[in-house]
Structure 1
Amino acid sequence: MTTALITIVAVIGFGIITGTITMVMIFKLLRNNKHKQHFQKSILTEGIPAEAVIHDITQTSSSMDGRPGVRLDLTVTQVDGRTFPTIVETYIPVTHIPQFQKGNVIHVRYIVNGNERKVEVEDAYVP
């Protein structure tokens, strides 16, 4: 009888600990995702406008709200004429897919973050 009680208490304790760890990880993931979306929106509203040439477009295995995820290999031309390469992963509305072909020029916005530039595509989907 005592070992059965100890086993039940151990199983319940393990379940509570496992559930708590799972919930903490889920909340951290949701918070990080919300922070990333806020950062993307701030780039699109406050970033420096530029144009970019698409060198390659590859569909990723992800999608969001029915929009396919893509990886864009771009060369961004800044206002002063200097260029820099970048790769952007984003989601494209299905109606905008014809605009996102190799060789096409698209509108982007970027910010300088230290030695790094963060780029977002203007016509992409941001939830």
Structure 2
Amino acid sequence: MTSTLITLIIAAVIVVFGLTTGLILILNVTKKLRTGKETMEIRKEILKYGSPAKAIIQDIAETSSSMHGRPGVRLDLFVTQEDGQTFQSVVTTFIPVIHIPKFQKGCEIDVKYMGEGNVRKVEVEDAYVI
């Protein structure tokens, strides 16, 4: 009789552990999806309302991610604002395959930025945003 009770307790612990881990996993996935959606909304806002600028690609590196067949890249940019001021920025984005020739080291690209001082968020105009 005690072995049956022990077996039931072990089974209950396993079920509770499984449900708890599943709930934690679902909450984390939901949080990441929400964060990703918020990030995309910010990116769209920068592209819609941001100040236009030109940027020279100092370095480009492919990331291990892709989105809908578009490769992820990390761009080190030297951005020149319309008033002539400059700043450095690093942008991780996705570019359509057709635009790859425009995204080479030394090429000038169109960007938009928001923010002031040392805190500026930059987005690439020809990048892929859902």
Do both proteins adopt the same fold according to a TM-score greater than 0.5, normalized to the shorter chain?
Answer: yes
Q: Deviation per CA, 1:30-85, whole angstroms, max 9, x where unpaired?
A: 00000000000000001000110111111111111110011111111101011111
Q: How far off is 1:114 after superposition?
A: 6.2
Rg larger in structure: 2
The one-letter amino acid of 1:50's match is A
* Structure 2 residue matching 1:101: 3-state secondary structure: coil
Change (3 A) 1:50 1:41: same
The residue that corresponds to 2:66 in the other structure is: 63
Aligned length: 127
The one-letter amino acid of 1:110's match is Y
The residue that corresponds to 1:89 in the other structure is: 92
In structure 1, the gaps of 5 or more residues are none
Q: Deviation per CA, 1:64-118, whole angstroms, max 9, x where unpaired?
A: 1110011111111101011111111110100000011111110000000564000
* Structure 1 residue matching 2:33: 3-state secondary structure: helix
The reply on whether 1:9 has 2:12 as its aligned counterpart is yes
- Using the size of structure 1 for normalisation, the TM-score is 0.96
Alignment partners' CA distance in 1, 2:27 and 2:116: 30
The residue that corresponds to 2:37 in the other structure is: 34
Segments of 4+ in structure 1 off by > 4 A? none
Alignment partners' CA distance in 2, 1:115 and 1:97: 29
Q: State the identity as a percent.
A: 54
